[in-house]
Amino acid sequence: MSTRVLIDHRGGGAQVLRHPEKAHRPDNPIQRKPAWIRVKAPTHPIYHQTRALMRENRLVTVCEEAACPNIGECWSQRHATMMIMGDTCTRACGFCNVRTGQPGALDADEPNRVADAVAKLGLKHVVITSVDRDDLPDGGAGHFAAVIGALRQAAPGTTIEVLTPDFLRKPGGAETIAAARPDVFNHNLETVPRLYPTIRPGARYYQSLRLLDRVKQLAPTIFTKSGMMVGLGEQRGEVMQVMDDLRIADVDFLTLGQYLQPTVKHAAVDRFVTPEEFAEYASLARAKGFLMVSATPLTRSSYHADADFAELRAAREARLMPA
């Protein structure tokens, strides 16, 4: 496991380290997963069709790059989450399996290829995410807007969710995204503020919160969404505090899932949170006023995002109905 995901095989048989900044860290042995985390190997024919379309359109997916455990289920329903602006991230988060390094130039044709793939997949709802692009003057906000524009043209019946970076030190990022009017704006806090120095060292907790708050202020009809991983060493009270912070930023939808360690060089799993604890977090979050909550061990930002979006819309309508 560790060798396979630590090394990339590039053109000409060259081998490159996927996470060079982590190469000299001591190994964290990977714990055996509990029974409630097991997933089935992908065998469905539609899984292979989805994969072929991603290759044909030369698209990168977070499903593959993050080694998501749900890929068999999602791709068998054509739900692939495309990751734009390349396959190389300028951050080096302690939890993330996306390769790190110096990314290449933006591909101006990528918005059209994303839109073409979404139209061919016939998706009701699509989630688009990206690597962090601290090297770009706008952090990639303009490219997100171009993808949203291309999607509106090619797949006008598809609702659009974007899961963006934090646009730290990129003034105007929130404004560009809000002006492009996605249906859902998602940005993950990932963990509690105390763990940022080790888990998300390039990010700032309050920048992420401010971004969510700003998009909601600029475009109140856009649903806002954020997520956290648990099992990284956070305390229950800290999770409650993050929920309160998100409600103050008027975030509509909270996702909570179990952190899974991608390689021996990544942060260790502190513990596997039980399904019962997830159910308790979900009911506490609902009591705090989120319109929608998804909290299960295998919840990821984009997991069941289409069905969740329909519920989210219905929840808002129900709340707006006169009593």
- Which 259-298 residues touch ligand SF4, going by CB under 6 A? none
Nearer to ligand SF4, 116 or 161 (CB): 161
Site membership for ligand SF4, residue 70 (CB under 6 A): yes
- Choosing from 68, 131, 203, 211, the residue that interacts with ligand SF4 (CB under 6 A) is 68
- Choosing from 78, 79, 133, 265, the residue that interacts with ligand SF4 (CB under 6 A) is 79
- Choosing from 6, 63, 177, 273, the residue that interacts with ligand SF4 (CB under 6 A) is 63
- Choosing from 144, 281, 290, 303, the residue that interacts with ligand SF4 (CB under 6 A) is 303
Q: Find residue 190's DSSP bridge partners.
A: 228
Task: With CB under 6 A as the rule, give the number of residues binding ligand SF4.
Answer: 11
Site membership for ligand SF4, residue 187 (CB under 6 A): no
Q: Please state, in angstroms and rounded to a whole number, the distance separating the CA atoms of residues 32 and 136.
A: 40
Nearer to ligand SF4, 74 or 239 (CB): 74
Residue 40 burial (10 A CB sphere; 0-12, 13-18, 19+): exposed
Write out the DSSP string of 196-251. Answer: HHHHSTT--HHHHHHHHHHHHHH-TTSEEEEEEEESSS--HHHHHHHHHHHHHTT-
Stretch touching ligand SF4 by CB under 6 A, among 73-81, 149-157, 165-173, 244-252: 73-81
- Choosing from 62, 123, 145, 267, the residue that interacts with ligand SF4 (CB under 6 A) is 62
Beta strands in 169-235 (DSSP E): 184-186, 223-230
Residue 55, helix vs strand vs coil:
helix
Provide, rounded to whole angstroms, the least separation between the CB of residue 181 and ligand SF4. 22
CB atoms within 10 A of CB 318: 9
Site membership for ligand SF4, residue 74 (CB under 6 A): yes
Provide, rounded to whole angstroms, the least separation between the CB of residue 127 and ligand SF4. 7
Site membership for ligand SF4, residue 81 (CB under 6 A): yes
Q: Which amino acid is at 251?
A: V
Site membership for ligand SF4, residue 71 (CB under 6 A): yes
Nearest to 159 by CA among 306, 300, 299, 59: 306
Q: Please state, in angstroms and rounded to a whole number, the distance separating the CA atoms of residues 211 and 172.
A: 10
Q: Find residue 17's DSSP bridge partners.
A: 7
Stretch touching ligand SF4 by CB under 6 A, among 48-56, 60-68, 195-203, 223-231: 60-68
Site membership for ligand SF4, residue 239 (CB under 6 A): no
CB 239 within 8 A of CB 282: no
Site membership for ligand SF4, residue 174 (CB under 6 A): no
Nearer to ligand SF4, 129 or 191 (CB): 129
Stretch touching ligand SF4 by CB under 6 A, among 14-22, 64-72, 258-266, 309-317: 64-72
Place of tokens 């992420």: 208
- Choosing from 78, 300, 308, 309, the residue that interacts with ligand SF4 (CB under 6 A) is 300
Q: Please state, in angstroms and rounded to a whole number, the distance separating the CA atoms of residues 209 and 315.
A: 23
Provide, rounded to whole angstroms, the least separation between the CB of residue 299 and ligand SF4. 8
Q: Please state, in angstroms and rounded to a whole number, the distance separating the CA atoms of residues 176 and 126.
A: 19
Query: For the CA atoms of the chain, what is the radius of gyration?
Result: 19
Site membership for ligand SF4, residue 222 (CB under 6 A): no
CA distances in angstroms from 48 to 24, 60, 78, 166, listed in the order given: 37, 15, 10, 33
Q: Please state, in angstroms and rounded to a whole number, the distance separating the CA atoms of residues 290 and 254.
A: 7
Nearest to 253 by CA among 210, 206, 305: 305
Site membership for ligand SF4, residue 185 (CB under 6 A): no
Site of interaction with ligand SF4 (CB under 6 A) = 62-63, 68, 70-71, 74, 79, 81, 300, 302-303
